[in-house]
Amino acid sequence: MGKLLSTKEVARHLGVNEKMVYALIAEKGLPASKVTGKWVFPQHLVDQWVEAHTINLPARAGAMPGVQGLLIIAGSNDPLLEQAIGLFNATHTDHLAVFGNLGSMGGIRSLKQELCHMATSHMLQENGSDYNFEIAGELMNPMPVVVNFCRRRQGLIVAKGNPRKIKATSDLGQSGLRMVNRRLGTGTRQLLDRELQQAGVNGAQIQGYYDEVQRHMDVGLAVLSGKADAGPGIQPVAEVLGLEFIPWRWERYDLMIHKERFFDQTIQLFLGLLHETAFHRMAAGFKGYDTTISGKMIFAHPRAKSENNSTLQSEEAQ
């Protein structure tokens, strides 16, 4: 185990007062654990948390070359995206698409720094009503083009038969339960922390909260193998592995592209696949995907809050 900081030490480390440290734990998910009634902070996790919340990243001095047959995608992972990349490479043999699994924040940072041509993200905005525009606006100028890849159902993946009788996020606080988690900077971790806060559950006190894995499938495999009782993830993974699923919400999983690269041939060929029957058939093979708006450009709307809230409520009733 790495170095543990006290509340006073982490306050000094972050350059804030001790009262602010408690606020960061409760409101922003600052990694912390209670030991014999006192908060302790793993320094390496605190440093990761700071990095994941960094917004004013410098642009790279030399711009990445345009898309010339090689399409680099980075960000949040998804099983359907993996299949779409495979379909693209099989269909367009003179082009190559590759993916870097960096989480939503990592993908947006990579796009900002000209390390990829396309970023994938599902970062929920502060008001809980829209996705991606808020964080992209903080990190990037000008705003990238946002195109929907799909909509996915997020929630808790639990063991077959749900032996722990988990019905809601609040049940993660039950004694003896062990969970598995996603990394800081991923949209899934962001949503979990939001759900825990709303349920009044301190994630740091759940066994396994800091046991982080790279992909949605890794969460499912941890539950399937019995290493964890539950973990945050998407419904398609639960369906494929024969596990149970406790839904939270439908989310928008988007692609972000620099405006000056949007019409590059390789990017347009990839986006074109999202309108093809083969892509929609792949998605239909999983429960928990919706491709109704796949391939469509998405715009931030001033009335998004009220409109999206009513949409989410109606979707959850389905």
Class of domain 154-249: alpha beta
Residue 42: alpha-carbon gap to chain centroid: 23
The C-alpha torsion from 167 through 188 and 215 to 169, rounded to 10°, is -20
Domain boundaries, the chain: 4-52, 70-151+251-316, 154-249
Topology of domain 4-52 in CATH is Multidrug-efflux Transporter Regulator; Chain: A; Domain 2 (1.10.1660)
Asked if the domains 70-151+251-316 and 154-249 are classified in one and the same CATH topology, the answer is: yes
Measuring CA to CA, how many Å separate 65 from each of 62, 71, 124, 270? 9, 11, 31, 18
Is the overall model pTM greater than 0.95, yes or no? no
pLDDT of res. 287: 94
Q: Whose structure tokens read 């979707």?
A: 315
pLDDT of res. 177: 97
| pLDDT mean by block of 10 residues, the chain; 318 residues | 81 88 79 80 78 59 66 97 97 96 94 94 90 89 94 98 96 96 93 94 92 96 98 97 97 96 94 97 96 95 46 36
pLDDT of res. 19: 84
pLDDT of res. 40: 85
Instruction: Determine the 3-state secondary structure of 240 from DSSP.
Output: helix
Topology of domain 70-151+251-316 in CATH is D-Maltodextrin-Binding Protein; domain 2 (3.40.190)
Please tell me the distance from the alpha carbon of residue 50 to that of residue 223, in angstroms, as a whole number. Answer: 29
